[in-house]
A and B are shown apart, each in its own frame.
Chain A
Amino acid sequence: MPIDQLDLKRAINGDERAMQRLWSQHAPHIDAVVRRLCGDPELAADISQEVWMQIFRALPSYRGDSQFGTWAHRIAVNRTLNALRKIRRIAKLETDIEDDSAMTEMDSDRTFIAESIEQAMNKLSPGARAVFVLHDVEGYTHGEIGEELGITPGGSKSQLFKARARLRTMLAHLVDDSPTTKIGRKGNGHVASV
Protein backbone atom coordinates (compact mmCIF):
# COMPACT_ATOMS: atom_id res chain seq x y z
CA MET A 1 0.00 0.00 0.00
CA PRO A 2 1.60 3.30 -1.05
CA ILE A 3 2.34 5.79 1.67
CA ASP A 4 1.99 9.54 1.48
CA GLN A 5 5.54 10.90 1.59
CA LEU A 6 4.37 14.13 3.16
CA ASP A 7 2.65 12.18 5.91
CA LEU A 8 5.84 10.23 6.43
CA LYS A 9 7.92 13.41 6.80
CA ARG A 10 5.39 14.87 9.16
CA ALA A 11 5.30 11.70 11.21
CA ILE A 12 9.10 11.69 11.46
CA ASN A 13 8.88 15.24 12.77
CA GLY A 14 6.39 14.24 15.44
CA ASP A 15 3.11 15.31 13.85
CA GLU A 16 0.49 13.29 15.70
CA ARG A 17 -2.12 13.41 12.95
CA ALA A 18 0.32 12.04 10.39
CA MET A 19 1.37 9.30 12.80
CA GLN A 20 -2.25 8.42 13.43
CA ARG A 21 -2.91 8.17 9.71
CA LEU A 22 -0.01 5.72 9.33
CA TRP A 23 -1.29 3.71 12.25
CA SER A 24 -4.90 3.67 11.01
CA GLN A 25 -3.81 2.52 7.59
CA HIS A 26 -1.52 -0.29 8.72
CA ALA A 27 -2.58 -1.32 12.23
CA PRO A 28 -5.17 -3.90 11.12
CA HIS A 29 -2.59 -5.90 9.20
CA ILE A 30 0.34 -5.29 11.55
CA ASP A 31 -1.69 -6.09 14.64
CA ALA A 32 -3.13 -9.20 12.98
CA VAL A 33 0.29 -10.78 12.58
CA VAL A 34 1.15 -9.90 16.18
CA ARG A 35 -2.10 -11.45 17.37
CA ARG A 36 -1.57 -14.63 15.37
CA LEU A 37 2.00 -15.08 16.52
CA CYS A 38 1.14 -14.45 20.16
CA GLY A 39 -2.11 -16.29 20.53
CA ASP A 40 -2.89 -14.59 23.83
CA PRO A 41 -4.87 -11.39 23.05
CA GLU A 42 -3.64 -9.48 26.11
CA LEU A 43 -0.04 -10.30 25.41
CA ALA A 44 -0.61 -9.40 21.76
CA ALA A 45 -1.98 -5.98 22.75
CA ASP A 46 1.08 -5.29 24.88
CA ILE A 47 3.49 -6.41 22.19
CA SER A 48 1.58 -4.44 19.57
CA GLN A 49 2.24 -1.25 21.56
CA GLU A 50 5.94 -2.05 21.57
CA VAL A 51 5.81 -2.81 17.86
CA TRP A 52 4.27 0.56 17.06
CA MET A 53 6.71 2.39 19.29
CA GLN A 54 9.52 0.66 17.43
CA ILE A 55 8.00 1.56 14.07
CA PHE A 56 7.74 5.23 15.05
CA ARG A 57 11.25 5.25 16.50
CA ALA A 58 12.63 3.71 13.34
CA LEU A 59 10.70 5.95 10.93
CA PRO A 60 13.73 8.17 10.17
CA SER A 61 15.59 5.07 8.96
CA TYR A 62 12.85 4.10 6.47
CA ARG A 63 14.31 4.82 3.05
CA GLY A 64 11.48 3.65 0.85
CA ASP A 65 13.38 0.66 -0.56
CA SER A 66 10.32 -1.48 0.12
CA GLN A 67 6.67 -0.74 0.69
CA PHE A 68 6.07 0.89 4.05
CA GLY A 69 3.69 -1.92 4.99
CA THR A 70 6.34 -4.55 4.22
CA TRP A 71 8.95 -2.64 6.22
CA ALA A 72 6.60 -2.20 9.18
CA HIS A 73 5.48 -5.83 8.94
CA ARG A 74 9.09 -6.98 9.22
CA ILE A 75 9.52 -4.87 12.35
CA ALA A 76 6.33 -6.37 13.77
CA VAL A 77 7.48 -9.94 13.18
CA ASN A 78 10.97 -9.31 14.59
CA ARG A 79 9.70 -7.49 17.61
CA THR A 80 7.02 -10.05 18.35
CA LEU A 81 9.36 -13.01 18.03
CA ASN A 82 11.91 -11.26 20.26
CA ALA A 83 9.24 -10.62 22.86
CA LEU A 84 8.08 -14.22 22.71
CA ARG A 85 11.66 -15.42 23.07
CA LYS A 86 12.06 -13.27 26.13
CA ILE A 87 9.16 -14.91 27.84
CA ARG A 88 10.42 -18.27 26.65
CA ARG A 89 7.33 -19.11 24.73
CA ILE A 90 9.26 -20.38 21.75
CA ALA A 91 11.03 -22.94 23.92
CA LYS A 92 7.86 -24.12 25.53
CA LEU A 93 6.86 -27.70 24.88
CA GLU A 94 3.97 -28.34 22.58
CA THR A 95 0.65 -28.42 24.33
CA ASP A 96 -1.41 -31.54 24.30
CA ILE A 97 -3.46 -31.28 21.17
CA GLU A 98 -5.83 -34.03 22.31
CA ASP A 99 -7.20 -31.72 24.95
CA ASP A 100 -9.75 -30.34 22.55
CA SER A 101 -12.71 -28.62 24.12
CA ALA A 102 -16.18 -28.76 22.65
CA MET A 103 -17.08 -25.98 20.29
CA THR A 104 -20.10 -23.88 21.02
CA GLU A 105 -22.45 -22.84 18.29
CA MET A 106 -21.50 -19.49 16.75
CA ASP A 107 -23.64 -16.71 15.36
CA SER A 108 -22.33 -17.15 11.88
CA ASP A 109 -20.27 -19.58 9.91
CA ARG A 110 -17.57 -16.97 9.35
CA THR A 111 -17.22 -16.27 13.06
CA PHE A 112 -17.31 -19.95 13.78
CA ILE A 113 -14.50 -20.70 11.37
CA ALA A 114 -12.44 -17.71 12.48
CA GLU A 115 -12.72 -18.62 16.12
CA SER A 116 -12.06 -22.25 15.33
CA ILE A 117 -8.81 -21.51 13.57
CA GLU A 118 -7.76 -19.09 16.28
CA GLN A 119 -8.38 -21.65 18.95
CA ALA A 120 -6.66 -24.33 16.93
CA MET A 121 -3.61 -22.15 16.29
CA ASN A 122 -3.41 -21.38 19.98
CA LYS A 123 -3.14 -25.07 20.68
CA LEU A 124 -0.05 -25.38 18.54
CA SER A 125 3.32 -24.99 20.18
CA PRO A 126 4.65 -21.42 19.89
CA GLY A 127 7.33 -22.55 17.43
CA ALA A 128 4.91 -24.49 15.24
CA ARG A 129 2.44 -21.63 15.36
CA ALA A 130 5.10 -19.14 14.32
CA VAL A 131 6.14 -21.30 11.37
CA PHE A 132 2.53 -21.86 10.33
CA VAL A 133 1.56 -18.19 10.62
CA LEU A 134 4.66 -16.92 8.86
CA HIS A 135 4.50 -19.46 6.03
CA ASP A 136 0.85 -20.13 5.38
CA VAL A 137 -0.68 -16.83 6.45
CA GLU A 138 2.06 -14.24 5.92
CA GLY A 139 3.76 -15.84 2.93
CA TYR A 140 7.33 -16.12 4.24
CA THR A 141 9.63 -18.69 2.66
CA HIS A 142 11.19 -21.44 4.75
CA GLY A 143 14.55 -19.72 4.32
CA GLU A 144 13.19 -16.46 5.71
CA ILE A 145 11.48 -18.27 8.55
CA GLY A 146 14.71 -20.08 9.32
CA GLU A 147 16.50 -16.73 9.61
CA GLU A 148 13.80 -15.25 11.80
CA LEU A 149 13.53 -18.20 14.16
CA GLY A 150 17.13 -19.36 14.11
CA ILE A 151 16.28 -22.77 12.67
CA THR A 152 17.11 -24.49 9.40
CA PRO A 153 14.75 -24.36 6.42
CA GLY A 154 14.33 -28.09 6.85
CA GLY A 155 13.32 -27.56 10.47
CA SER A 156 10.80 -24.99 9.33
CA LYS A 157 9.32 -27.42 6.79
CA SER A 158 9.10 -30.12 9.44
CA GLN A 159 7.35 -27.80 11.88
CA LEU A 160 4.91 -26.71 9.18
CA PHE A 161 4.08 -30.30 8.28
CA LYS A 162 3.32 -31.10 11.92
CA ALA A 163 1.34 -27.90 12.40
CA ARG A 164 -0.82 -28.52 9.36
CA ALA A 165 -1.44 -32.12 10.34
CA ARG A 166 -2.61 -31.05 13.78
CA LEU A 167 -4.76 -28.27 12.44
CA ARG A 168 -6.45 -30.68 10.05
CA THR A 169 -7.34 -32.86 13.01
CA MET A 170 -8.42 -30.03 15.27
CA LEU A 171 -10.57 -28.44 12.58
CA ALA A 172 -12.23 -31.65 11.47
CA HIS A 173 -15.48 -30.58 13.08
CA LEU A 174 -15.81 -27.99 10.34
CA VAL A 175 -16.55 -30.75 7.83
CA ASP A 176 -18.57 -33.28 9.76
CA ASP A 177 -21.55 -34.90 8.11
CA SER A 178 -24.19 -33.01 10.04
CA PRO A 179 -26.58 -30.49 8.41
CA THR A 180 -24.52 -27.68 9.94
CA THR A 181 -21.51 -28.37 7.77
CA LYS A 182 -19.35 -25.25 7.76
CA ILE A 183 -16.94 -25.86 4.98
CA GLY A 184 -17.16 -27.46 1.55
CA ARG A 185 -16.01 -31.01 1.14
CA LYS A 186 -14.40 -31.86 -2.14
CA GLY A 187 -16.86 -33.63 -4.39
CA ASN A 188 -19.86 -33.56 -2.05
CA GLY A 189 -21.59 -30.66 -3.73
CA HIS A 190 -21.32 -28.29 -0.74
CA VAL A 191 -20.16 -24.75 -1.37
CA ALA A 192 -17.50 -23.56 0.93
CA SER A 193 -18.89 -20.93 3.22
CA VAL A 194 -15.56 -19.28 3.95
Chain B
Amino acid sequence: MGMSHLSEEQLDQVIAAEKARPQEPLNEWRTIAARAREEGLIQDSREWRGSLGQQWLQAAAAVLLLVGGIAIGRSTIGLPTTVTSQSAAVATAANPSTAVPANNNATTDFVPSSSASFASVDQASAALDRAVQEYTRASQYLAASNLADQTRDSAAFYRARAEALDQIADAARSALATAPHDPVLNQYFLATMGARAATRQVVSTAGLRGF
Protein backbone atom coordinates (compact mmCIF):
# COMPACT_ATOMS: atom_id res chain seq x y z
CA MET B 1 0.00 0.00 0.00
CA GLY B 2 1.51 3.31 -1.08
CA MET B 3 0.34 5.31 1.92
CA SER B 4 2.43 8.37 2.73
CA HIS B 5 0.84 11.80 2.91
CA LEU B 6 -2.22 13.73 1.87
CA SER B 7 -1.41 16.66 -0.33
CA GLU B 8 -2.14 20.12 1.06
CA GLU B 9 -5.04 20.36 -1.34
CA GLN B 10 -6.49 17.05 -0.18
CA LEU B 11 -6.18 18.09 3.43
CA ASP B 12 -8.08 21.28 2.58
CA GLN B 13 -10.82 19.12 1.09
CA VAL B 14 -11.06 17.10 4.28
CA ILE B 15 -11.18 20.30 6.35
CA ALA B 16 -13.89 21.74 4.10
CA ALA B 17 -15.92 18.57 4.60
CA GLU B 18 -15.47 18.82 8.36
CA LYS B 19 -16.58 22.47 8.34
CA ALA B 20 -19.68 21.65 6.33
CA ARG B 21 -20.62 18.62 8.39
CA PRO B 22 -23.88 19.23 10.25
CA GLN B 23 -23.45 18.64 13.96
CA GLU B 24 -25.89 18.07 16.74
CA PRO B 25 -25.82 20.09 19.97
CA LEU B 26 -23.78 18.49 22.72
CA ASN B 27 -26.58 18.76 25.27
CA GLU B 28 -30.34 18.64 25.29
CA TRP B 29 -32.19 21.88 25.91
CA ARG B 30 -33.69 20.60 29.14
CA THR B 31 -30.18 20.17 30.54
CA ILE B 32 -29.27 23.74 29.66
CA ALA B 33 -32.66 25.01 30.86
CA ALA B 34 -32.30 23.28 34.22
CA ARG B 35 -28.98 25.02 34.80
CA ALA B 36 -30.38 28.35 33.65
CA ARG B 37 -33.35 27.95 35.96
CA GLU B 38 -31.08 27.13 38.89
CA GLU B 39 -29.18 30.34 38.29
CA GLY B 40 -32.36 32.37 37.97
CA LEU B 41 -31.69 33.13 34.30
CA ILE B 42 -35.05 31.63 33.36
CA GLN B 43 -38.14 33.11 34.94
CA ASP B 44 -41.20 30.97 35.30
CA SER B 45 -43.81 32.13 32.79
CA ARG B 46 -46.35 32.26 35.63
CA GLU B 47 -44.07 34.72 37.44
CA TRP B 48 -43.94 36.73 34.26
CA ARG B 49 -47.70 36.90 33.98
CA GLY B 50 -47.99 37.66 37.67
CA SER B 51 -45.43 40.40 37.45
CA LEU B 52 -47.12 42.00 34.47
CA GLY B 53 -50.51 41.62 36.13
CA GLN B 54 -49.16 43.20 39.26
CA GLN B 55 -47.94 46.20 37.30
CA TRP B 56 -51.34 46.64 35.69
CA LEU B 57 -53.01 46.24 39.07
CA GLN B 58 -50.75 48.90 40.54
CA ALA B 59 -51.41 51.26 37.66
CA ALA B 60 -55.17 50.71 37.87
CA ALA B 61 -55.17 51.17 41.65
CA ALA B 62 -53.10 54.34 41.35
CA VAL B 63 -55.53 55.82 38.85
CA LEU B 64 -58.50 54.81 41.00
CA LEU B 65 -57.05 56.33 44.11
CA LEU B 66 -55.90 59.50 42.40
CA VAL B 67 -59.30 60.07 40.80
CA GLY B 68 -60.98 59.22 44.08
CA GLY B 69 -58.75 61.64 45.94
CA ILE B 70 -59.48 64.45 43.51
CA ALA B 71 -63.18 63.68 43.77
CA ILE B 72 -63.04 63.90 47.54
CA GLY B 73 -61.23 67.18 47.31
CA ARG B 74 -63.74 68.63 44.90
CA SER B 75 -66.76 67.30 46.74
CA THR B 76 -65.67 68.49 50.16
CA ILE B 77 -65.41 72.09 49.01
CA GLY B 78 -68.69 71.98 47.15
CA LEU B 79 -67.41 71.75 43.57
CA PRO B 80 -69.23 69.46 41.15
CA THR B 81 -67.61 66.15 40.41
CA THR B 82 -67.46 64.68 36.93
CA VAL B 83 -67.29 61.01 37.58
CA THR B 84 -70.47 59.11 38.34
CA SER B 85 -68.90 56.95 41.00
CA GLN B 86 -67.49 60.04 42.66
CA SER B 87 -70.94 61.66 42.64
CA ALA B 88 -72.23 58.65 44.43
CA ALA B 89 -69.61 59.04 47.11
CA VAL B 90 -70.46 62.71 47.55
CA ALA B 91 -74.17 61.99 47.75
CA THR B 92 -73.46 59.37 50.34
CA ALA B 93 -71.44 61.76 52.40
CA ALA B 94 -74.00 64.53 52.20
CA ASN B 95 -76.90 62.29 53.08
CA PRO B 96 -75.95 58.87 54.31
CA SER B 97 -79.56 57.73 54.26
CA THR B 98 -79.55 57.93 50.45
CA ALA B 99 -76.31 56.10 50.11
CA VAL B 100 -75.99 54.28 46.81
CA PRO B 101 -72.90 52.18 46.23
CA ALA B 102 -70.68 53.40 43.44
CA ASN B 103 -70.28 49.86 42.26
CA ASN B 104 -73.32 47.80 42.96
CA ASN B 105 -71.77 44.55 41.83
CA ALA B 106 -68.77 45.00 44.00
CA THR B 107 -70.92 45.73 47.01
CA THR B 108 -73.31 42.88 46.54
CA ASP B 109 -70.46 40.48 45.84
CA PHE B 110 -68.55 41.50 48.91
CA VAL B 111 -69.27 39.27 51.85
CA PRO B 112 -67.23 40.32 54.84
CA SER B 113 -66.25 37.34 56.85
CA SER B 114 -63.47 37.05 59.36
CA SER B 115 -63.53 33.29 59.00
CA ALA B 116 -63.50 33.17 55.21
CA SER B 117 -61.20 30.61 53.70
CA PHE B 118 -60.11 30.61 50.08
CA ALA B 119 -59.80 27.74 47.68
CA SER B 120 -57.34 29.41 45.32
CA VAL B 121 -55.02 32.35 44.83
CA ASP B 122 -57.42 33.80 42.27
CA GLN B 123 -60.29 33.65 44.76
CA ALA B 124 -58.22 35.33 47.45
CA SER B 125 -57.03 37.98 44.99
CA ALA B 126 -60.62 38.70 43.91
CA ALA B 127 -61.65 39.06 47.55
CA LEU B 128 -58.73 41.39 48.14
CA ASP B 129 -59.74 43.49 45.13
CA ARG B 130 -63.30 43.75 46.41
CA ALA B 131 -62.00 44.72 49.81
CA VAL B 132 -59.86 47.47 48.28
CA GLN B 133 -62.89 48.83 46.43
CA GLU B 134 -64.93 48.79 49.62
CA TYR B 135 -62.11 50.40 51.50
CA THR B 136 -61.81 53.13 48.91
CA ARG B 137 -65.51 53.91 48.99
CA ALA B 138 -65.58 53.86 52.76
CA SER B 139 -62.57 56.19 52.86
CA GLN B 140 -64.30 58.58 50.51
CA TYR B 141 -67.42 58.56 52.61
CA LEU B 142 -65.56 59.10 55.85
CA ALA B 143 -63.41 61.84 54.37
CA ALA B 144 -66.49 63.68 53.21
CA SER B 145 -68.38 63.13 56.49
CA ASN B 146 -65.33 64.08 58.45
CA LEU B 147 -65.11 67.36 56.61
CA ALA B 148 -68.74 68.18 57.30
CA ASP B 149 -67.88 68.37 60.97
CA GLN B 150 -64.87 70.55 60.42
CA THR B 151 -64.64 74.21 59.70
CA ARG B 152 -63.18 75.09 56.33
CA ASP B 153 -60.24 76.91 57.87
CA SER B 154 -59.20 74.04 60.07
CA ALA B 155 -55.64 74.05 58.86
CA ALA B 156 -54.36 72.25 61.95
CA PHE B 157 -56.63 69.32 61.26
CA TYR B 158 -55.37 68.89 57.69
CA ARG B 159 -51.78 69.53 58.67
CA ALA B 160 -51.95 66.74 61.23
CA ARG B 161 -53.54 64.44 58.68
CA ALA B 162 -50.97 65.28 56.02
CA GLU B 163 -48.07 64.73 58.41
CA ALA B 164 -49.47 61.40 59.47
CA LEU B 165 -49.98 60.39 55.86
CA ASP B 166 -46.41 61.40 55.02
CA GLN B 167 -45.13 59.15 57.77
CA ILE B 168 -47.27 56.28 56.57
CA ALA B 169 -46.12 56.84 52.99
CA ASP B 170 -42.46 56.87 54.08
CA ALA B 171 -42.93 53.66 56.03
CA ALA B 172 -44.76 52.01 53.14
CA ARG B 173 -42.06 53.15 50.70
CA SER B 174 -39.35 51.64 52.91
CA ALA B 175 -41.29 48.42 53.16
CA LEU B 176 -41.67 48.29 49.37
CA ALA B 177 -37.94 48.66 48.95
CA THR B 178 -37.64 45.36 50.80
CA ALA B 179 -40.62 43.63 49.17
CA PRO B 180 -41.42 45.52 45.95
CA HIS B 181 -43.96 42.99 44.65
CA ASP B 182 -45.91 42.47 47.85
CA PRO B 183 -49.55 43.18 46.96
CA VAL B 184 -50.60 44.13 50.50
CA LEU B 185 -47.77 46.64 50.89
CA ASN B 186 -48.51 48.05 47.45
CA GLN B 187 -52.12 48.57 48.39
CA TYR B 188 -51.16 50.28 51.65
CA PHE B 189 -48.81 52.54 49.75
CA LEU B 190 -51.29 53.39 47.01
CA ALA B 191 -54.11 53.97 49.48
CA THR B 192 -51.89 56.32 51.46
CA MET B 193 -50.83 58.21 48.37
CA GLY B 194 -54.47 58.51 47.33
CA ALA B 195 -55.44 59.92 50.72
CA ARG B 196 -52.48 62.29 50.57
CA ALA B 197 -53.56 63.50 47.15
CA ALA B 198 -57.08 64.04 48.45
CA THR B 199 -55.85 66.01 51.43
CA ARG B 200 -53.63 68.21 49.31
CA GLN B 201 -56.44 68.77 46.84
CA VAL B 202 -58.72 69.96 49.63
CA VAL B 203 -56.04 72.26 50.91
CA SER B 204 -55.06 73.72 47.57
CA THR B 205 -58.61 74.22 46.32
CA ALA B 206 -59.95 75.65 49.55
CA GLY B 207 -56.88 77.83 49.98
CA LEU B 208 -56.37 76.94 53.58
CA ARG B 209 -53.82 79.05 55.36
CA GLY B 210 -51.05 77.81 57.54
CA PHE B 211 -50.79 74.48 55.83
Contact = CB atoms under 8 A, between A and B. Distances in A.
A171 B18 contact: no
A172 B29 contact: no
Interface string B1-35: 11111111111011111110111111101011101
A16 interface: yes
Contact of B6 (A34, A45, A57, A171): A171
A13 interface: yes
Contacts of B21: 110, 114
B118 interface: no
Interface in A133-178: 136-137, 164, 167-169, 171-178
Q: How many residues of A sit at the interface, in one of the four size bands?
A: 35 or more
Nearest to B6: A168
B42 interface: yes
Given A20-B33, A52-B32, A175-B6, A168 B13 contact: no
A23 B31 CA distance: 12
Given A15-B43, A20-B33, A177-B1, A35 B23 contact: yes
Nearest to B5: A168
Interface in A95-123: 110, 113-114, 116-118
Contacts of A118: 18
A29 B37 CA distance: 24
A72 to B, nearest CB: 13
B45 interface: yes
Contacts of B32: 23, 49, 52-53
A169 B41 CA distance: 47
A110 B17 contact: yes
A48 interface: yes
Contacts of B5: 168-169, 172
A16 B10 contact: no
B36 to A, nearest CB: 6
Given A20-B33, A49-B32, A177-B1, A184 B26 contact: no
Contacts of B15: 117, 136-137
B13 A35 contact: no
A49 B27 CA distance: 7
Contacts of A71: none
A192 B27 CA distance: 33
Contacts of B37: 16
A114 B18 contact: yes
B26 A167 contact: no
A52 B1 CA distance: 46
Contacts of A74: none
B14 A183 contact: yes
Contact of A176 (B2, B23, B35): B2
Given A172-B6, A178-B1, A23 B35 contact: no
A192 B13 contact: yes
B63 to A, nearest CB: 26
18 contacts: A16-B33, A16-B36, A19-B33, A23-B25, A24-B29, A27-B25, A45-B27, A48-B27, A52-B36, A56-B41, A57-B41, A167-B11, A167-B14, A169-B4, A171-B10, A186-B10, A194-B13, A194-B14
Given A13-B43, A16-B37, A185-B10, 8 more contacts: A35-B23, A52-B36, A53-B35, A57-B41, A171-B6, A172-B4, A176-B1, A186-B7
Interface of B: 1-11, 13-19, 21-27, 29, 31-33, 35-37, 39-43, 45, 48
Interface of A: 13-16, 19-20, 23-24, 27-29, 31-32, 34-35, 41, 44-45, 48-49, 52-53, 56-57, 110, 113-114, 116-118, 136-137, 164, 167-169, 171-178, 183-186, 192, 194
